[in-house]
């Protein structure tokens, strides 16, 4: 065996490697780009999921935009108040944090057994796919399909499919809105957490059709309107809607709703 | 050793750009061809970057091959040393672009580091060796072949920009129609094969 050949090969590769290493090191110093240290400091404070809720390409782009003064310091919804404060401190600004906390909510209660099935779907588990097949697997065309496109889109693990419907853990939700984008039915809404009484149904069909499709569908009966002491809830276009400005969160409507489609989180 | 004389440089150019086009007849470098061809501007930028890297890579690989590997009888190390050279070069180009043209750096995005693993660059280096080109011819081969790549990617980007606004059957929208286009362009380029 020719030992010199092996050593030669080794030496040539080593020399080449070292040579290129040295050249690159010199180039690194010579072509060094000055990155604003604030940008990297801001990058550290962010959610880091590259969710794009801020409207920029990713966390790095957002950090740079903040330094350039294009993006607001509280632009990172997943980072929330904590990130906003930290970024404001880095940028030497004060920030108004009086805004209400927002979270995603599933506006549907059509669980298995509550909403009637149109057919049994046994194929690839994707809401976007099945939403296009004969109007979806549930009788109600507004219902949460429950195959978890939103859960897959959530970078924070806040969504779980329970009994055929998406459930959002508000404590984990950062209101980045990715689930809302992923949902083919648009059944997820971003709402302030302090709206504790909501109409959890979007079915605008006639009362009879709605009832036939789901036990917890709004049938537009109007009992909530009569019961409301502050004139905050009205039936518009076949479904009850609450005006959050007028609503006092008393929960009277939720008590009388015959279909239990109004949810009072405090009750 | 093959040498390209002044007289047939033009012939060599036509051969590299049209009849032996890297994309359409050798099928090398298809990844950036399909990936970065959505806008003419970025496509041209990518083409330029590839031209720069391929020219330099041809120069350095043939230098190393002829003055180090060949005399020492280490030609079996050519692939691994070429990879080393190309990787370093791309790093260098990346630093250079980041400093001199941040806009181009940003628009090339992920594809610039991907030139490292671009088969066209390693392809041109091995073609230089197997065709036994001398250093000057290698550099010319590298630059001309890359110009062929530039032509292909810019043509493709032009077509794709127009595809954006045209009526395409739902199932073919986006990538599928891109592949159709590439196939048709390859067929069209076959017409050049008898040219040189």
Domains in chain A, please, with CATH? 38-91 (1.10.15), 101-192 (3.30.70.20), 194-267 (3.30.70.20)
| Rounded mean pLDDT, A163-185 | 88
Q: What whole-number distance in Å separates Cα of residue A79 and Cα of residue A204?
A: 36
Cβ-based interface (< 8 Å): residues of A facing B: 5, 8-9, 12-13, 16-17, 20, 23-24, 27-28, 31-33
Place A188 in a pLDDT band, splitting at 50, 70 and 90: very high
Question: Which residue's entry shows tokens 């009832």?
Answer: A211
**DSSP 8-state symbol, B113:** H
Q: What whole-number distance in Å separates Cα of residue A196 and Cα of residue A192?
A: 9
The residue of chain B nearest to residue A32, with distances taken between CA atoms, is B99
Q: How far is CA B135 from the centre of its chain?
A: 18
A194 has a pLDDT exceeding 60: yes
pLDDT tens-place string over residues B111-125:
667 677 778 889 999
* Out of B64, B69, B88, closest to residue A24 by CB: B88
**DSSP 8-state symbol, B171:** G
pLDDT tens-place string over residues A37-71:
888 888 888 877 777 777 776 787 788 888 888 88
Cα distances from B36 to residues A108, B90, B139, in angstroms, run 42, 17, 25
B102 to chain A: which residues are within 8 Å by CB?
33
* Out of A9, A20, A28, closest to residue B77 by CB: A9
A97 has a pLDDT exceeding 60: no
ipTM of the prediction:
0.70
Number of other CB atoms surrounding residue B92 within 10 Å: 19
Could you tell me how many CB contacts below 8 A there are between chain A and chain B?
Answer: 43
Q: What whole-number distance in Å separates Cα of residue A37 and Cα of residue B42?
A: 29
Q: Is A183 left (phi over 0), alpha (psi -120 to 50) or beta?
A: beta
Per residue, the 3-state secondary structure of B33-54, as one string, reads: HHHCCCCHHHHHHHHHHHHHHH
**DSSP 8-state symbol, A99:** S
pTM: 0.54
Burial B147-186 (b: 16+ CB within 10 A, else e): bbbbbbbbbbbebbeebeeeeeeeeeeeeebbeebbeebe
**What is the per-residue pLDDT for B110?**
56
Contact A190, A175 (CB under 8 A): yes
Indicate the range of A216-230, A249-263, B44-58 predicted with least confidence.
Answer: B44-58
* Out of B74, B84, B95, closest to residue A8 by CB: B74
B103 has a pLDDT exceeding 90: no
């Amino acid at each position: 065996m020719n030992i010199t050949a092996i050593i030669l090969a080794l030496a040539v590769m080593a020399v080449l490697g070292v040579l290129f290493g040295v050249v690159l090191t010199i180039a690194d110093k010579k072509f060094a780009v000055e990155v604003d240290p604030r940008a990297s400091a801001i990058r550290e404070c962010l959610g880091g999921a590259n969710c794009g809720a801020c409207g920029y390409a990713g966390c790095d782009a957002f950090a740079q935009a903040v330094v350039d003064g294009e993006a607001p310091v509280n632009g990172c919804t997943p980072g929330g108040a904590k990130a906003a404060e930290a970024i404001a401190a880095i940028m030497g600004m004060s920030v108004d944090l009086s805004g209400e906390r927002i979270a995603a909510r599933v506006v549907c209660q059509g669980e298995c057994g509550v909403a009637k099935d149109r057919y049994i779907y046994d194929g690839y588990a994707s809401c976007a796919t099945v939403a296009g097949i004969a109007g979806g697997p549930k009788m109600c065309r507004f219902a949460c399909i429950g195959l978890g496109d939103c859960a897959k889109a959530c970078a924070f693990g806040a969504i779980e499919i329970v009994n055929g419907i998406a459930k959002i853990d508000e404590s984990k939700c950062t209101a980045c809105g990715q689930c809302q984008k992923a949902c083919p039915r648009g059944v997820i809404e971003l709402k302030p957490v302090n709206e504790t009484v909501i109409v959890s149904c979007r079915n605008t069909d006639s009362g009879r059709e709605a009832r036939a499709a789901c036990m917890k569908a709004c049938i537009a009966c109007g009992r909530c309107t009569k019961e409301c002491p502050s004139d905050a809830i009205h039936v518009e276009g076949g479904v009850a809607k609450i005006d959050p400005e007028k609503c006092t969160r008393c929960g009277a409507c939720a008590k009388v709703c015959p279909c239990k489609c109004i949810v009072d989180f405090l009750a | 050793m093959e040498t390209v004389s002044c007289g047939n440089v033009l012939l060599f150019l036509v051969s590299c750009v049209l009849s032996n086009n890297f994309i359409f007849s050798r099928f090398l470098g298809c990844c950036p061809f399909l990936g970065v061809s959505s806008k003419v501007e970025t496509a041209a930028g990518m083409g330029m970057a590839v031209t720069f890297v391929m020219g330099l890579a041809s120069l350095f690989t043939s230098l190393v091959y002829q003055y180090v590997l060949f005399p020492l009888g280490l030609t079996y190390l050519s692939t691994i040393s070429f990879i080393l050279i190309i990787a370093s070069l791309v790093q260098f180009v990346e630093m250079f672009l980041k400093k001199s043209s941040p806009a181009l750096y940003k628009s090339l995005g992920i594809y610039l580091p991907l030139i490292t693993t671009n088969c066209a660059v390693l392809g041109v280096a091995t073609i230089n060796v197997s065709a036994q080109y001398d250093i000057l011819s290698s550099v010319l081969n590298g630059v001309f072949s890359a110009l062929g790549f530039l032509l292909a990617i810019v043509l493709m980007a032009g077509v794709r920009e127009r595809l954006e606004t045209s009526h395409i059957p739902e199932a073919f929208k986006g990538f599928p129609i891109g592949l159709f286009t590439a196939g048709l362009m390859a067929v069209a380029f076959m017409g050049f094969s008898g040219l040189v």
